[in-house]
Amino acid sequence: MQYEIKGDQLPVVVCTLNPGESMITERGAMSWMTSNMRMETQAGGVGKALGRMFSGESIFQNKYTAEGSMGLIAFASSFPGEIRALNIAPGSSIVCQKSAFLAAEPGVELSIHFKKKLGAGFFGGEGFIMQKLSGQGTAFVEIDGSMVEYQLQAGQTMLLDTGYLAMMDETVQMDIEMVHGVKNIFLGGEGLFNTKVTGPGRVWIQTMPLSAVAGIIGAHIPGRG
C-alpha cells in the first residue's frame, strides 16, 4: 500500500493498493475509489464491535479490497485539521481521542482504552473512553487543527487545556489537575481543571479542538452569549 496526503485545512489521504491488498475504515469514511475496489461490511467479533461502539465509532467496519488490478481509494477528513499516518507495531500502541480513527491496514486493531482514573475521564475533557490502535500496519487518524508533538521523559509532565490532547503513547499516564487559586478559577477564563500528562512517551497536541470551536460558535448564537 502506498499513500499520499493531499490538501491543507481539509485534507484527504489517497491510498493506492496492489491487487489483493485491503484497507479497513469506519462506515461512511470512504470519499472516492476506483471501480475495482470491493467493499465488505464486517463486525470483526462481538467484543471488538462493542469496543468500537464505546470508543465513539460504528459497530461495523468496511473492508475495501483491490480486485484484479491496482486500486485507489480516498478517505477525507470530516473537520478542518490534519490527517496523520501512524506506524503501528507490536509493543507501540497509541491512544487517541474518540473518533480520531479514519482508516488502516487490516493488521491494525481498533479497540477501547479506559482511563485508569475516574477524575481524568470525567473532568479531563477527553472523555472516560478513548481509542487504542495496536497490532501492526499503517493507520490514519484525524487531528483537529494543526498538531504539535512532544517527547516526554520518564516523570516529565505537561499541563494541557481540556480537549487539546489528540494522541499519546500508551506508556503516557493521564490525570487531571485543578487550577490553583480562587482568583485564577473565577477570573482566569481557563476552567477548573487541566489535563496532566506524564512521560515516558510521546504526546500529540491539537491546536483547534472541536469542543473549543463549538464553544466559540455557541457564544455568538443569539440568546447563548
Q: What is the pLDDT of residue 116?
A: 55
Q: Does any domain span residue 224?
A: no
- Chunked mean pLDDT (size 10), the chain, 225 residues: 93 97 88 97 58 55 95 94 95 90 93 62 55 95 94 97 92 82 45 86 92 60 62
Q: Is residue 204 included in any domain, yes or no? A: yes
- Report the predicted TM-score, pTM, of the whole model to 2 decimal places: 0.81
Place of cell 494543526: 146
Other CB atoms within a 10 A radius of the CB of residue 202 amount to 16
How many structural domains comprise the chain?
A: 1
CB–CB of 26/57 below 8 Å?
Answer: yes
Domain contains 98: yes
Q: Would you say 24 and 105 are in contact if contact means Cβ atoms under 8 Å apart? A: yes
Task: Decide: 13 and 28 in contact? Cβ < 8 Å.
Answer: no
Residues 224, 187 contacting (CB under 8 angstroms) = no
Q: Is residue 154 part of a domain?
A: yes
- The answer to whether residue 225 is domain-embedded is no
CATH of the domain at 74: 3.60.160.10
Per the structure, the complete domain to which residue 185 belongs is given by 2-219
| SS3 call for 93 | coil
In a domain, 137, yes or no: yes
